[in-house]
Amino acid sequence: MKLTQITSAILMTGAVSLPLSVNAQELEISIKNLTHGITFTPLLIAAHDNNTHLFEVGTQADMALQKMAEGGDISELDTMVMANDGLSITNPAEGLLAPGAEISQIMFDTQDQSHLSITAMMLPTNDAFIGLDSWAIPSTAGTYTFTLNAYDAGTEINDEIINGGGALGTPGIPAAPQGDAGSNATGVMDMSSNDSVHIHPGILGDTDLDGGMSDLDSRVHRWLNPVAQVTVIVK
């Protein structure tokens, strides 16, 4: 089955059952930010076995995922991958990945690891992140292109207030890296009660840059899934 035929499955579950790699695989990876006004924090790309997950839809986020989703800190997720004998590439873009930008030619020798995962926080948001969950690396050489959704970690109310927050359990958004957000918002009244990892409902925003309910600009920061495109070349 061609990968283009199973894109919808990736978007729904973050994982696809493909033939497992039986030999070491050399990958060349490209990641593109498809959004108009959202920045990705430093990326984590991990190769691991089929029992390891950076996140799982429908489950509550652990502390490592919460730190990444709320503040962009990938260090504990990276430590978890290493503790499970996995491999990782951290911060391949050497900083933030701006809206519309792409990082390419990321070379990754996955050795005997069978699955690939990718994640990064989305700014400015409260706890949104891009995610690929435990994708089975094909054993057949070729080029595989697919898209990623935005997920909500379910760990923080989406109040859309930029206040320098980002520490674990601290409400608010750390920053708007492009300097295109407002201030002095009263906060969005988020009535959702889903505290598990789920597809992000998106932001509301408004057009009042000196008040209103949201510090996010609805003309700039709103997005529709998918939010990232990934190309994996299996050598």
Which alpha helices (DSSP H) does the chain contain, by range? 7-13, 63-71, 75-83
The amino acid at 2: K
What is the mean predicted confidence (pLDDT) over 31-47?
98
pLDDT of residue 38: 98
Interval 175-191 mean pLDDT: 94
Between 165 and 160, the higher pLDDT residue: 160
Distance separating alpha carbons of residues 152 and 121, to the nearest angstrom: 10
Mean pLDDT computed over 122-138: 97
Percent of the chain residues past pLDDT 90, beyond the cut: 84
| Helix, strand, coil shares, percent, the chain, to 5 | 10, 30, 60
Instruction: Give the mean model confidence (pLDDT) for residues 118-147.
Output: 97
The lowest-confidence range among 99-108, 133-142, 187-196 is 187-196
- Indicate if the pLDDT at residue 2 is higher than 70: no
Res. 232: pLDDT tops 50: yes
**Cα–Cα distance for residue pair 208/189, rounded to 1 Å:** 16
- Answer yes or no: is pLDDT of 5 > 50: no
pLDDT-derived band at 21 (thresholds 50, 70, 90) equals very low
pTM of the model: 0.88
Judge whether 17 and 81 are in contact, CB under 8 Å.
Answer: no
The number of residues making up the chain comes to 235
Neighbouring C-beta atoms of residue 224, cutoff 10 Å: 10
- Written as six digits, the tokens of 68 are 């990444």
Q: What pLDDT does 16 receive?
A: 39
Choice between 4 and 228, residue whose per-residue pLDDT is larger: 228
b/e map 92-129, b = 16+ CB within 10 Å? bbeebbbbeeebeebebebeebbbbbbbbbbbbbbbbb
β 44-48/115-123 pair status: antiparallel
Assigned token pair, 90: 């951290």
d(CA 45, CA 29): 9
DSSP 39: E
What percentage of residues in the chain have a pLDDT greater than 70? 90
- Alpha-carbon Rg for the chain, nearest whole angstrom, is 17
Q: Is the pLDDT of residue 234 over 80?
A: yes
pLDDT at residue 62 in the model? 97
Average of per-residue pLDDT values in the chain: 90
CA distance 91 to 97: 10
Cβ(85)–Cβ(68) under 8 Å?
A: no
